[in-house]
Amino acid sequence: MREMSPQQVSEYLQEKNNKPLLLDVREPWEYDVCRIDGSQLLPMQTIPHSLDRLDPKADTIVICHHGVRSKMVARFLEAAQFENIINLTGGVNAWAQSVDLSMPRY
């Protein structure tokens, strides 16, 4: 698993050939408050039963509020043989503080 800061993820997303899955593992109410554009909601507790919905070879950036749940999910995905997992360090909270200053925070 790789770790990327919000700035690194933002730059990574701006590269022409990078279209990773932005996997948001927060709860629906959190996703309703704020989200990174293009992210897909799949709450943490649903991941073990949803592996068939994910591509184990795809670049996948895992997102949560502060980066703790996403790190746990990233480790789980790696143990399930997913190859290109990136954890967003600091989660959407850090994203709102450094990349999208207009993003609501909670």
What is the set of active-site residues?
Answer: 64
Three-state SS string over the chain comes to: CEEECHHHHHHHHHCCCCCCEEEECCCHHHHHHCCCCCCEECCHHHHHHCHHHCCCCCEEEEECCCCHHHHHHHHHHHHCCCCEEEEECCHHHHHHHHCCCCCCCC
